[in-house]
Structure 1
Amino acid sequence: MTALLTILVLVFILVAIWQMVKIFDLSQVGLSENDQVATDKDNSLNGYLMIGFLAFIYIITIVSVVKWGDLPLLSNAASEHGPGIDNLMIISLVIIFIVQTITQFLLHYFAFKYKGEKGKKALFFADNNTLEAIWTIIPVITLAGLIIYGLFTWTSIMNINEDDDPIVVELYAQQFNWKARYAGADNTLGNANVRLIDIDKANILGVDESDPNAQDDIITSELHLPVGKPVLFKMRSQDVLHSAYMPHFRAQMNCVPGMITQFSFTPTITTAEMRQNPDMVDKVAHINKIRQENSKELVAEGGEALDAYEFDYLLLCNKICGKSHYNMQMKIIVETEEEYNAWLKEQKVFKNSLVTN
């Protein structure tokens, strides 16, 4: 109720201010000094301001390119299709940069060059089919090229080659954590439904206990992937719309309640190798420097020092799914096939993980 009253008061204040401005404008009618018609001096001032703003735009752009233009995010793709996605992004950025540079210059320069002057009448064309064709056809060709390139890139990613025999893994989303379910030795996931969830028996994903394909499934809280092996992810959501986002693998797919979505990729860089990436080494060092500074303040206030940060691939939720959305993540470990197989052997299969009464 208090919030409603506050909003109403603010609305009434704004209406009152608007009415006062209108009254002031009416009271100034007939005064030569309040003609409200732009003079040559006004037009000249605005023309120079436009040039000044153009210079500001270019200075900010140059500073940004010099300081942050190395685009390290586009140099650490860890999946086979990642470079293709990065290439599409770079091409789009280059085209946008060129178009923005040219159009902003023309916009601001023409505003200055053709500013209003007393006795000067602008030359204009009421209709020019050639100009209209040019500024219509060029954007159409450019956008069509980007869209077609993007569609081919997307199709090449989403077309799963069954001959590659990908490892099948389910990503199960719920507020506010992830679970991974591996298909086991038969590489076939057992049937599952949220209506089959039985907390008392530790069947937290609603896996069908009577399905033979489900008996060797493996449920984990950490995602391990073998390098160089294609992985097919089947995605489910227990409650609301989530989005499985793995930034270093250039992978993202919504997890929709009531249906199964999928995405596949082949990891190309192990976690250990990515930790040695020069860009990643610099990033980790920068993060730990900040953490050390924050730790001093925490210790001074009687708290505990922050642990040193170490890089890990992460599975994140990229949809705002609730109050703890920011903390919905799962570690991804990319390792050699031997390390992956050794880890997999240590995991308990579904039939042995159920709690019997």
Structure 2
Amino acid sequence: MAVALVLLLVAVASVLFHIYSPWWWTPIASNWRYIDDTINLTFWITGAVFCAVIAFMAYCVFRFHHKEGRRAAYNPENKKLEWWLSIVTAVGVAAMLAPGLVVWHQFVTVPDDATDVEVVGQQWMWSYRLPGKDGRLGTSDARLISPDNPLGLNPNDPNGQDDIVIQSDDLHLPVGKPVKVLLRSIDVLHDFYVPEFRAKMDMIPGSVTYYWFTPTRTGTFDVLCAELCGTAHAQMRSKVVVQEAKEYHAWLERQRTFAELSGQHDVAKAAYKTGSE
């Protein structure tokens, strides 16, 4: 009897802790409330199954506990019970997977008016690239990576000359505008994650992954790496600053382009060469 009560108390305490826990999501700042809804649905389905299993265990412990002279009945199979368990399990799994598939389709279907923003991860920092006035990002190649060109941008691509390059600084975005995030890693696996945006994706060396979101409120949000990437993984931090359009464009005007940075490197090289001679 005591064991059955303990089992029931564990189930009740677990549900209450989930409902009233102070450790919950950060306030959402993007359009992906669907992801919250999908996770909540999964919690309710798995929670109901958890409570049903615990209640069944408590019933069995109470109903079939040891009594002097009672013998257990051997029943190796029960086709009716097996069919019911299979059907209920299939319905439960489908109820969890179907909403996720719908949300995933939305997650990778980028709106036509989304702005491309490239995020580059490396041990242990974040770099960003935004399109210039032509609205297009230039190409890149890992073989072009060098101390003077840390992102491996193609210097012969005219579309990349006006690209805005941001290193070791914050990424700024306008509120209410959809953004397609292009993810690239130049060393190991990383994962670009902003908890308030409810969106993340692995960054795989040698390929470009992506997702999209729309910032829905202004503020400053922490960028985390959600993939264990080395000894300084926990310190791989940055920030995304979501601003009104006027403030965002004022910030954008102050940033330097790939052409300006390349010219600065060329001048520094020439000065160093002249000084060496």
TM over 0.5: yes
How far, CA to CA, are the matches of 1:140 and 1:61 in structure 2? 25
Equivalences for residues 1-357 of structure 1 within 5 A: 48-58=1-11, 60-61=13-14, 64-65=17-18, 67-68=20-21, 72-73=24-25, 76-80=27-31, 82-162=32-112, 164=113, 166-199=114-147, 202-220=148-166, 221-271=169-219, 312-354=220-262, 355-356=265-266, 357=270
How big is each residue's C-alpha offset from its partner over 1:141-183, in whole Å with a ceiling of 9 and x where there is no partner?
A: 1211221111011101211122x2x111110000000001111
What RMSD, in angstroms, separates the aligned Cα atoms of the two structures?
1.8
Question: What's the offset of the Cα at 1:63?
Answer: 5.3
Question: What's the offset of the Cα at 1:55?
Answer: 4.4
Unmatched runs of 5 consecutive residues or more in structure 2: 271-277
Higher strand content, 1 or 2: 2
Q: Which AA in structure 2 matches 1:347?
A: Q
How far, CA to CA, are the matches of 2:120 and 2:132 in structure 1? 16
Check whether the contact 1:190–1:213 (CA below 8 A) recurs between aligned residues: yes
Higher helix content, 1 or 2: 1
**Aligned partner of residue 200 in structure 2, secondary structure:** strand
TM-score w.r.t. structure 1 length? Answer: 0.70
**Aligned partner of residue 73 in structure 1, secondary structure:** coil
Question: What's the offset of the Cα at 1:59?
Answer: 5.5
How far, CA to CA, are the matches of 2:18 and 2:205 in structure 1? 42
TM-score w.r.t. structure 2 length? Answer: 0.89
Check whether the contact 1:183–1:217 (CA below 8 A) recurs between aligned residues: yes
> Which one has a bigger Cα radius of gyration?
1
How far, CA to CA, are the matches of 1:129 and 1:178 in structure 2? 57
Unmatched runs of 5 consecutive residues or more in structure 1: 1-47, 272-311
How big is each residue's C-alpha offset from its partner over 1:62-81, in whole Å with a ceiling of 9 and x where there is no partner?
A: 65246416x6417x22111x
Question: What's the offset of the Cα at 1:111?
Answer: 1.7
Check whether the contact 1:50–1:109 (CA below 8 A) recurs between aligned residues: no
Question: What's the offset of the Cα at 1:254?
Answer: 0.7
Check whether the contact 2:192–2:203 (CA below 8 A) recurs between aligned residues: yes
